[in-house]
Amino acid sequence: MDVGLWGNALQSSPRAPRPDQAAPSSVTWLLTLECNRRCPYCFYQIIPVRPETGRWPRDAALKGPTAAERIAEMGRIGVADLYLTGGEPMLRPDIGSIIAQASSHGIRVHMVSKFHMHALQAEALADAGLHHITISLDDLRPAEGKRLTGASNYPAEALASIEACLAAGLDLEVNAVVTSLNADGLGSLADRLEDIGCRKLSISAMQTPHFRSSHAKGLEPQADLRPLMDRLLAGASGTMAIDFGAAGGNDKAKPCGATLVCEVGRRSLHILPNGDATRCHYMPKRPDLVIGSLLTHSILDIWRSDTFERWRRPERSMFAGTGCANCGGFDGCNSRGRCVASAFLEAGQANAPDAFCGAS
């Protein structure tokens, strides 16, 4: 897509929003792309964190009074869930303030982290009102941990963080990404997590990052994961739920329009560290996906803009030369939302069939 087609300026008209799109019910906020981990399956080209602590991430522009006003607006317009992610969200010095502000407006705050948390930090998150935390841990073995995070001591750090969060009373789940490297260690991981009191383990198969990281080469799981799933379920005692998510093979394709695929523009808004609202927070480096800036516009300004409407329901002519151009399910795919990240991965452009296409 050509950036010049719509430009970066927010385009609006007096058109009233559709009743089912009056405002987002959830917001995903990519707080920073800085990270102290080096996970090969990460969807982001992260910014290596600097050794100093207590300073602002270099890319975090949405902060202070502007951030507080946008969080207050979320409360006014009925946002129910705020998802904080990164990079590493714990690198924001104001993370506790963000959580507390959102919680004070009745918003459930969720966070994904690989940060090494001590007891006081976990307690501070609980006191701020964090609703749910996901900690990622793929393997207990140091060598595998180093390959999957860049740090051989990560498994021990993650276990310490999990125990601290559980002791603080936080609602916690652990997420494990299945790769060719760690599939044989998931049984031991599940047993250990259950022993320390974890109540939920989510498992998903690795997907290749859209920018095709060389570090991810050869890590995609090669075997059918269903036997692994069966073994884990057979060995579970029942005190910890195991959710396999997308780990059960390639069953993504669905009839066009049958199931909601992407919530952006229907239920959800994605925000980047610099305050830009984007069509897909998994592709933060693409200016052509930017809808508007929360530094200069309100959430509702962006949500109701013509710019966003063109992303929600792109015209058929924009898919010329692809399988979507003459597909009978075109309008259905507009309704279920298109996965632009997978379209870029497969076709190099947003306006193309995505990984969920039932016709391709």
CA dihedral 217, 209, 333, 259 (to 10 degrees): 90
- Written as one string, the DSSP assignment of 273-310 is TTSEEES-TT-TT-GGGEEEETTTS-HHHHHTSHHHHH
Decide: pTM greater than 0.75.
Answer: yes
pLDDT at 21: 67
Q: Rounded distance, CA 113 to CA 37, Å? A: 10
pLDDT at 50: 72
pLDDT at 299: 97
Q: Rounded distance, CA 170 to CA 158, Å? A: 15
Which token pair is 268? Answer: 């959800």
pLDDT at 214: 65
Q: Report yes or no: 236 and 194 within 8 Å, Cβ to Cβ.
A: yes
Q: Rounded distance, CA 246 to CA 269, Å? A: 23
Which token pair is 319? Answer: 């898919």
Of 63, 72, 66, nearest to 95 by C-alpha is 63
What's the N-to-C CA distance of the chain in angstroms? 21
pLDDT at 358: 75
- Written as one string, the DSSP assignment of 207-258 is ---TT--GGGTT-S--S-SHHHHHHHHHH--SSSEEE-TT-S-S-----TTS
**Secondary structure of residue 266 in the 3-state scheme:** coil
CA angle 319, 322, 327 (to 5 degrees): 80
pLDDT at 146: 93
pLDDT at 258: 63
Q: Rounded distance, CA 261 to CA 245, Å? A: 14
Tell me the one-letter amino acid at 196. I
Per-residue pLDDT of the chain (360 residues; tens, 9 = 90+): 323 233 334 544 433 334 356 899 999 999 999 999 999 888 888 998 876 656 889 999 999 999 999 999 999 999 999 999 999 999 999 999 999 999 999 999 999 999 999 999 999 999 999 999 999 999 999 999 999 999 999 999 999 999 999 999 999 999 999 998 898 899 999 999 999 999 999 998 887 765 556 677 778 777 677 787 788 877 777 789 988 876 544 445 556 666 788 999 999 999 999 999 999 999 999 999 999 999 999 999 999 999 999 998 999 999 999 999 999 999 989 988 999 988 988 888 999 999 888 775
Strand order in the sheet with 268-271: 241-243, 200-205, 172-178, 132-136, 108-113, 81-85, 26-30, 268-271, 276-278, 290-293
pLDDT at 52: 64
pLDDT at 3: 30
